[in-house]
Amino acid sequence: MGRYDVKPTILIYCENSNMVQIPLKKLREGLEEEGVPWEEKEIQGNAEFLAKQAAEDSQLGIGIGLMSDGTCLLQHSRMPMGSPIMKVMAGADTMENYRVVGTNAARLAKNMPLKWF
């Protein structure tokens, strides 16, 4: 499969999607409202690795890593591993923070100013 056959999408890599259904739903909402396509995949590793790998694999260079404990990282492929654009810690105050991460992932792709918690 050549590089141009891959649809440009934002990639969400999570440890176990069953464990994080609500954060995942909120991420999707943010992305959908902004109108940017995304794909989801389950892989293993720590948060930094998930996010970096998602960004590397994404045609848009934008990835989200989501751990089962709720830790969520927004990563750009041109940024080094461990330097996320944005981060939601496990046990976040509000689920809306995940939606902001989704929104910002889309806004990075659209070149629009980001939202902040």
Closest approach, Cβ 5 to other proteins, in A, equals 25
CA–CA distance, 46 with 30 (Å, rounded to integer): 24
Nearest alpha-carbon partner for 21 in 80, 70, 93, 91? 70
In the set 35, 44, 91, 93, which binds other proteins (CB under 8 A)?
35
* Cβ-based neighbour number of residue 6 at 10 Å: 12
48 binds other proteins (CB under 8 A): no
In the set 39, 40, 48, 79, which binds other proteins (CB under 8 A)?
79
Closest approach, Cβ 104 to other proteins, in A, equals 8
